[in-house]
A and B are shown apart, each in its own frame.
Chain A
Amino acid sequence: MLSLLIDTSNRPLSVALNRDGFTLAEINTTVKKTHSATVMDYIDKLFKMTELKKNDVHRIIVANGPGSYTGVRIGVTVAKTLAYAFGTELYSVSSLFVVAASSSRKGIVAPLFDARRGNVFGAVYNMKSDSFTEKVAPAHMSLEDLQTELSSYDSSVILLDGQEKVSANLEDFVHTVPRISMVEPFETALEKEDIHSLVPEYLRISEAERNWMEQNKS
């Protein structure tokens, strides 16, 4: 079974072709480049590198957030359109889980992305070699709340994807390069999606909607 995997949620970009969970080719970057200009080009390169035919793909797996709103939208738009055009199955995976799986760490891990003003998009997982349990589902929360949650475990590791803003206020953390090729052994982390109705998990309403709801409370 050939899978095409796509993650453009934040500054890092990760695309891969896996056969039966085994990585044939992957491109992972952490440079500041516009995903909109690069992601389709890199996907094209994966097929060229492997000399595989595009329509041999059985399923597409996309990291559908949380993350940068624009970044997540690019990945989801590309994944939806490719799945529609190829007529393949479409799966989503949390962008936070991609970081957890990429670290190869066992035990309690808390991947998080900066959400500004002391807030993060975070989750807590108990990772085993090819299974996991979700302790805290992906959510928009304060960094403090996440740290309180983590203090209830004997040991835990905060995982970041290289973004500097959060790390400036953290003492203990590990940077991990997101590699979406690593998620496939964790079948329960993958959610089968309807192609047309897949939308990003922003985990936060837009600022305009927030202000509007504030003004129209009554």
Chain B
Amino acid sequence: MTQDTVILSIETSCDETAASVVRNGTEIMSNVVVSQIESHKRFGGVVPEVASRHHVETITLVIEQALEEAGMAPEGLSAVAVTEGPGLIGALLVGINAAKAFSFAHDLPLIPVHHIAGHIYANQLEEELEFPLVALIVSGGHTELIYMDDHLSFEVIGETRDDAVGEAYDKVARVIGLPYPGGPHVDRLSREGADTFDFPRAYLEQGSYDFSFSGLKSAVINTLHNRRQKGLEIKKEDVARSFQESAVDVLTKKTMDAVEEYEVKHLLVAGGVAANSGLRQRFESLCSEHDVKLSIPKLKFCTDNAAMIGAVAHHLYQQNHFASLDLNGRNFIDIELFV
């Protein structure tokens, strides 16, 4: 039995200031998340400069709380991990500089972590990953299908060519008059509506695992615009349901095709949109039909958090994947070239 790894992880890539202590990549000793969402609501979306300002206000408090809740002194830590990217650059820099200062002060190794790898490994906080697997990452910034045949081996087999699915959710929410962030509201309304509009499904060319949601978004906007001009009634619940059905159809069809072609027995779904009830239900029935193990993290691990960064960092620690003090934030990092 090798020695335990206890990692302090920090995540500030968007609008949550988060720190966590995780043992051996699976056991959450603490998981502190300070959400800024109330501040960004008034703008109808995350404002990068405002996000960065909030991060610096709370960063040391969040770190202190994570250590206290874990009952862990810095001397007991094996390393400090931090999200290197992708994300909002100004926001990332707060977490990265705090992580570097902390690792320097306590002579701890510094582990840079890819944000999307974090979302995938959020599942490891609940159950072991079984390789090979396919992971669908769905959030406000990402829509990606990733194949993994082992730990830290990421192959992007499909990604969005335009809007991320969460972005489309937020825009549709706005046009039907729902507050930011719109995803959960659209999901809630859709349960009371019917798929009456039959919006287009963008499957793209045969054999492609890529996604496109801008056409669907435009179809919703144009349909509503036409009906408003003609003075026709718009049932918001039906718009929400019709939009959601289209998005879920495409996401699940492409994912299940990939599961079949790559002959995997484990499907992971992660990212903020993984909390969507329509998407969860469809995957649950498809996976039981095809005898595939499905893992979707609890809601608090779907959205941004630092525990998921600590879960990846455990494996990076085993591989001595460390950064020096000149680590910088990057708004884009190719996950295939990350390790």
Chains A and B form a bound pair = yes
Instruction: Please choose the segment from B95-103, B150-158, B246-254, B265-273 that sits at the chain A interface, where 4 or more of its residues have CB less than 8 A away.
Output: B95-103
Docked Cα-Cα span, A80 to B49, in Å, equals 19
- A164-181 at interface with B (beta carbon < 8 Å): none
Q: How many residues on chain A are close to B (CB under 8 Å)?
A: 34
Q: Chain B residues near A73: list those with CB within 8 A.
A: 52-53, 56, 90, 93-94
Whether A69 pairs with B52 at a CB distance below 8 angstroms is yes
B24 contacts the other chain (CB 8 A)? no
A189 contacts the other chain (CB 8 A)? no
Docked Cα-Cα span, A70 to B91, in Å, equals 9
A155 contacts the other chain (CB 8 A)? no
A44 contacts the other chain (CB 8 A)? yes
A84 contacts the other chain (CB 8 A)? yes
Whether B63 pairs with A199 at a CB distance below 8 angstroms is no
Whether A199 pairs with B97 at a CB distance below 8 angstroms is no
Docked Cα-Cα span, A40 to B52, in Å, equals 19
Q: Which of A81, A195, A202 has the most CB of B within 10 A?
A: A81
B204 contacts the other chain (CB 8 A)? no
Whether A85 pairs with B105 at a CB distance below 8 angstroms is yes
Cβ contact of A38, chosen from B42, B326, B329, cutoff 8 A: B326
Whether A70 pairs with B90 at a CB distance below 8 angstroms is yes
B75 to chain A, nearest CB (A): 12
A34 contacts the other chain (CB 8 A)? yes
A51 to chain B, nearest CB (A): 16
Q: Which of A37, A38, A74, A197 has the most CB of B within 10 A?
A: A37
With A36-B93, A40-B97, A40-B325 already in contact, the answer to whether A70 and B52 are too (CB < 8 A) is: yes
With A38-B326, A73-B90 already in contact, the answer to whether A54 and B97 are too (CB < 8 A) is: no
B57: nearest residue on chain A (CB-CB)? A199
Q: How many residues on chain B are close to A (CB under 8 Å)?
A: 33
With A36-B328, A199-B53, A209-B50 already in contact, the answer to whether A70 and B93 are too (CB < 8 A) is: yes
A47: nearest residue on chain B (CB-CB)? B104
A32 contacts the other chain (CB 8 A)? no
A77 contacts the other chain (CB 8 A)? yes
Q: How many A-B residue pairs have CB under 8 A?
A: 99
Cβ contact of A69, chosen from B49, B63, B74, B328, cutoff 8 A: B49
A212 contacts the other chain (CB 8 A)? yes
Q: For chain A, what secondary structure do more than half of its interface residues adopt (helix, strand, loop), or is it mixed?
A: helix
- A45-94 at interface with B (beta carbon < 8 Å): 54, 69-70, 73-74, 76-78, 80-82, 84-86
Whether A40 pairs with B47 at a CB distance below 8 angstroms is no
Cβ contact of B94, chosen from A43, A77, A207, A208, cutoff 8 A: A77
Whether B100 pairs with A78 at a CB distance below 8 angstroms is yes
Q: Which of B50, B52, B100 has the most CB of A within 10 A?
A: B100
- B133-163 at interface with A (beta carbon < 8 Å): none
Can you list, as one digit per residue, whether each of A117-130 has a CB less than 8 Å from chain B (1) or not (0)? 00000000000000
Docked Cα-Cα span, A207 to B52, in Å, equals 13
Docked Cα-Cα span, A207 to B48, in Å, equals 11
B216 to chain A, nearest CB (A): 28
Docked Cα-Cα span, A76 to B52, in Å, equals 12
A217 contacts the other chain (CB 8 A)? no
With A85-B74, A196-B60 already in contact, the answer to whether A37 and B52 are too (CB < 8 A) is: no
A191 to chain B, nearest CB (A): 17
Whether A81 pairs with B98 at a CB distance below 8 angstroms is yes
A151 contacts the other chain (CB 8 A)? no
Cβ contact of B64, chosen from A54, A70, A78, A196, cutoff 8 A: A196
Whether A40 pairs with B49 at a CB distance below 8 angstroms is no
Whether B64 pairs with A206 at a CB distance below 8 angstroms is no
A41 contacts the other chain (CB 8 A)? yes
Whether A77 pairs with B325 at a CB distance below 8 angstroms is no
Q: Chain B residues near A69: list those with CB within 8 A.
A: 49, 52-53, 90
A183 contacts the other chain (CB 8 A)? no
A75: nearest residue on chain B (CB-CB)? B97
Docked Cα-Cα span, A208 to B39, in Å, equals 12
A57 to chain B, nearest CB (A): 10
Whether A200 pairs with B49 at a CB distance below 8 angstroms is no
Q: Chain A residues near B57: list those with CB within 8 A.
A: 197, 199
Cβ contact of A206, chosen from B50, B93, B327, cutoff 8 A: B50
Using a CB–CB cutoff of 8 Å, the interface residues on chain A facing chain B are 34, 36-41, 43-44, 54, 69-70, 73-74, 76-78, 80-82, 84-86, 195-197, 199-200, 202, 206-209, 212
Known A69-B52, A81-B97, A208-B50; 19 more pairs at CB < 8 Å: A36-B97, A40-B101, A40-B325, A77-B56, A77-B101, A80-B60, A80-B98, A81-B101, A81-B105, A82-B101, A85-B101, A85-B105, A85-B106, A86-B105, A199-B53, A200-B53, A200-B56, A208-B47, A208-B49
Using a CB–CB cutoff of 8 Å, the interface residues on chain B facing chain A are 42-43, 47, 49-50, 52-53, 56-57, 59-61, 63-64, 74, 90, 93-94, 96-98, 100-102, 104-106, 324-329
Could you list 15 examples of A-B contacts with CB < 8 Å?
A40-B326, A43-B104, A69-B90, A70-B90, A73-B90, A77-B56, A77-B93, A84-B64, A196-B60, A197-B57, A199-B56, A199-B57, A206-B53, A208-B43, A208-B50
